Amino acid sequence: MSNFVNAFKEYGIDNAPEMEDDDGHDMSEFQNEICLPKHHRCSSHTLNLLVTSDLIKILKADESLFKRNNMVFKKCDNLWKKCKWPKSSEVIQETLGGCLVVPVGTRWNSLYDAVVRLLQHRPKLDELCDKLSLPRFTSCELSYLDTYKLIVAPIAQSLDFMQGEQSVGYGSLLPTIMTLSKKLIKIQQKIEHPFSRIALELEEQLRQRFRAFFELNEEADLALAAAALTPNVKLSWLKILQKTSPQFTYERITERVIRIITDYAIKQNLPATNESHKCEGSYTESTFYDFSDGDYIFAEESTASLSKFTEEAESMHLITNMMHQYLNDTDKTSNIWFQYPTLKEISLFCNTPLTSSGPVERLFSFAGIINSPRRGRLTDFSFEKLELLKANIPGRCSF
């Protein structure tokens, strides 16, 4: 993975040289030079660090709590180890009517999933421990696992959401971390000390690891535009950020999004036309995001004071009006793009980066299956087609 990141650093688009001839025209012989897009760090991996290294550091700050954590999970480890032995595995299957989930260090959320499955079989744990000659779980230990599940659940849900096949656009990043921040604060208010401190410090670590996005600095420009150009999101997540950063007003963020979009539209020579065609669509909204209060109503910009425009100023004006109409539009389905084709094209560009490296890693796994020793004569073209078919049509391709 380090070599993968280094390749982006060396051949990334930020480092690509701009070559022109004496007349100012691009030099065609360099058009096929290697140029990779800008590298974006895997957000899922960053979230996973919250429940691994960050959580351990928080627990170590309280010696008694750290010892309690180790004792509880040592019992869990002893039970999970039994799943690897055939005879013990049969006993588990007969007693519980199913298997336990065993944590895997390289798989995100595996520890959380293992704890959830363990707690699902709470009534039969005493019987199982007796049959396997293991010490029983006390009520205090099970209570600790319940609290662990409660605290880690929103992080695990965010990880699963960002790794999914449906919501992989970059526009899901900002609303996801804002929703996670809100959920951790709610948990901190719900549970008692010392566990409330854990939830609070995890929320602080979340803000630290995603500082660029909570502070909305220049690095977050693409994520900001991508979120605004996601129909079921737009700027509804902003009300959560305003509770800690009131300087980020709707007007200020709207102006910034318009500037980012306009710069891209002018650079790509996109037509800044506003379509008036209306397409009916049902109102849908992602059930994952948690934004309280009503949606903000954006005011239409007046054109009375505008006189002469240069080409760029005219594009700015048209895109500004288009964005205000888009943000006011109640349609939160993909049908909205029939009305705003220019915004649709910009949205595709902004939402191309992935929030998680999960889909890429799955693609690498498929590559190992396809590039077998008996297929040594595969051309690059055929290999790429087989790879994409395998990744995008699961269950249909047996190659």
Residue 335 inside a domain? The answer is yes
Residue 75 inside a domain? The answer is yes
3-class DSSP state for residue 36? Answer: strand
Query: How many domains are there within the chain?
Result: 4
Residue 239 inside a domain? The answer is yes
Q: Are residues 362 and 337 in the same domain?
A: no
- Band (9; pLDDT cuts 50, 70, 90): low
- The tokens of 92 are what? 């588990």
- Segment 324-346 shows an average pLDDT of 88
User: Do residues 181 and 205 make contact, with C-beta atoms less than 8 angstroms apart?
Assistant: no
Q: Are residues 279 and 333 in the same domain?
A: yes
- The tokens of 329 are what? 């539009």
Q: Are residues 86 and 124 in the same domain?
A: yes
Query: With a threshold of 0.85, does the pTM exceed it?
Result: no
- What are residue 355's phi and psi, to 5 degrees? -80, -15
- Label residues 167-188 b or e (16+ Cβ within 10 Å = b): bbbbbbbbbbbbbbbbbbbebb
Question: What's residue 163's pLDDT?
Answer: 82
Question: What's residue 312's pLDDT?
Answer: 65
Q: Are residues 136 and 75 in the same domain?
A: yes
**Which of the two residues, 54 and 393, has the higher pLDDT score?**
54
Of 77-81, 119-123, 367-371, the poorest mean pLDDT is in: 367-371
- Band (10; pLDDT cuts 50, 70, 90): low
Question: How many beta carbons lie within 10 A of that of residue 27, not counting itself?
Answer: 11
Q: Are residues 235 and 325 in the same domain?
A: yes
Residue 397 inside a domain? The answer is no
Domain that holds residue 369: 358-392
Q: Are residues 326 and 288 in the same domain?
A: yes
Q: Are residues 151 and 50 in the same domain?
A: yes
- The tokens of 240 are what? 């959560």
Q: Are residues 71 and 26 in the same domain?
A: no
What percent of the chain shows pLDDT beyond 90?
A: 34
Residue 190 inside a domain? The answer is no
Residue 193 inside a domain? The answer is no
Q: Are residues 147 and 242 in the same domain?
A: no
User: Do residues 333 and 283 make contact, with C-beta atoms less than 8 angstroms apart?
Assistant: yes
Residue 17 inside a domain? The answer is yes
Residue 281 has pLDDT above 50, yes or no: no
Q: Are residues 156 and 282 in the same domain?
A: no
**Which of the two residues, 278 and 150, has the higher pLDDT score?**
150
Q: Are residues 142 and 55 in the same domain?
A: yes
Whole-number average pLDDT of the chain: 80
Of 79-83, 91-95, 247-251, 394-398, the poorest mean pLDDT is in: 394-398
What percent of the chain shows pLDDT beyond 70?
A: 77
Q: Are residues 220 and 100 in the same domain?
A: no
Residue 198 inside a domain? The answer is no
